[in-house]
Amino acid sequence: MDGTSFGRYRLQELIGEGGMGKVHKAYDTLTDRIVALKVLHEHTAADPGFRERFRREAHAAARLSEPHVVPIHHYGEIEGRLYLDMRLIEGTDLKTLLARHGPMPPVVAVSVVEQVAAALDAAHAAGLVHRDVKPSNMLVSARDFVYLIDFGIARSTQDKGLTSTGATIGTFHYMAPERFTTGQGDARSDVYALACVLHECLTGAHPYPGDSLEQQISGHLTAAPPRPSQVRPGVPAGFDQVIAQGMAKSPDDRYFTAGGLAAAAERALTTEPRPNAATTVVIGPGTARTALIGGPPQPHSLPTAMLHQGMDTTAQPGGDAEASALTPARRASTKRKACLLAAAVAVAAAGAVAVGYAPVDAPPPTTPANARPADALEPVRPTPTWSATHTPAPPSAPAGTRPTNPTRQSDPVPAPGGLPPSAAPDDPYFDDPYYADPHSDSYYPE
């Protein structure tokens, strides 16, 4: 279909493909803009039940206004093919980043989880369950922003009769036990999957990494939740309880919300503060910036150091940024504290795309937030590693003994200035008047 017309769209390159269909970069001739167009496989439109579920879910997802949820411009059917018209987002998925650079510093992992949790809670409040929460469905873009993508297989909590195609949807590494035993799942299944992702971000390993599907399924059904502090030295022990409750076998024993999981993960950071050391990076000719680097060296040095604070980072001249386009997610780092996830996509001389994380606890830059970055970013040290620091916040409640089993607790209450981060999103498109009213008639042409 590349290079051809599809209704009012002119299809350009293929930028993604999955079990449900393909995602193209496309030009919308009606609105004169470049979009991400997801075209589902032809057989899906032939199933009346699936067509109805698609219509309901697309309508519900299009109404979500959460900043980390990629807006759906339009949806429908053209030439017997169902489609979703979405905002085109450039970035790199979390699975790729973890494969390149290994496990994250805990503070960076928490930043990712907070943003995804905000998107999930918004979807759950609207009656949608994602059902496929995993690193490859988390898109890291510029300006410290993470999106939860691909709501194309999300299911309404009211659609009890439309589950024939949904029972096997999902990835075994992140599927909750009830998905295997009953084929059903609700918002708490997404919380379980997000806890699995948190474990992978912290350790670089799946919670139950068996070589066979049978081993993976058995782990989810019978094995105790893993302890990340034992899997990877340096992970604060407080994360053991977060994973234990987030991955509890019974849905009733888990956190009530994804935000509850994220808030607990945030609190786990304060259990083992580490000393800080300073390093300096040069941003363009003659402009130096100091960042705080804490903790022991992390595995896998970055090919390019991307240390920035609230900067608009784009692909460097001379190469193509990795582009992906899909659907939802959201965040809360900058308003909570100066704990930033730097996700800049740049092309190295050999043509490889380098994306780096470096949350820092440093004063805001004097450069305006919307200023474009300099063309070059050179680290003083040639091969820096993933690094981050965390300044412990005062506990919101008196410290107590953490339970050592996944017995159900109430979701932690975020400290002032913490979750939820909806008041002032750092969406890269937030100030663009073109996206100011995502629910206007012109934005969703019928």
Binding-site residues for ATP, in ranges, read 38
By CB atoms closer than 10 A (0-12, 13-18, 19+), residue 156 is middle
Token pair of 199, please? 């474990």
Token pair of 67, please? 């900043």
CA distance 321 to 216: 35
Token pair of 242, please? 């977060």
CA distance 266 to 444: 37
Give residues with Cβ within 8 angstroms of 200, minimum separation 6.
Answer: 98, 103, 135, 206, 207
| Helix/strand/coil for 189 | helix
Catalytic residue among 132, 144, 240, 361: 132
| Cis geometry, peptide bond prior to residue 207 (ω within 30 degrees of 0) | no
217 in Cβ contact with 180 (< 8 Å):
yes
CA distance 259 to 388: 22
Q: Which amino acid is at 353?
A: V
Identify whether 32 is a catalytic site residue. Answer: no
Tokens 């380098």 locate to: 354
393 in Cβ contact with 269 (< 8 Å):
no
CA distance 293 to 318: 30
Catalytic residues: 132
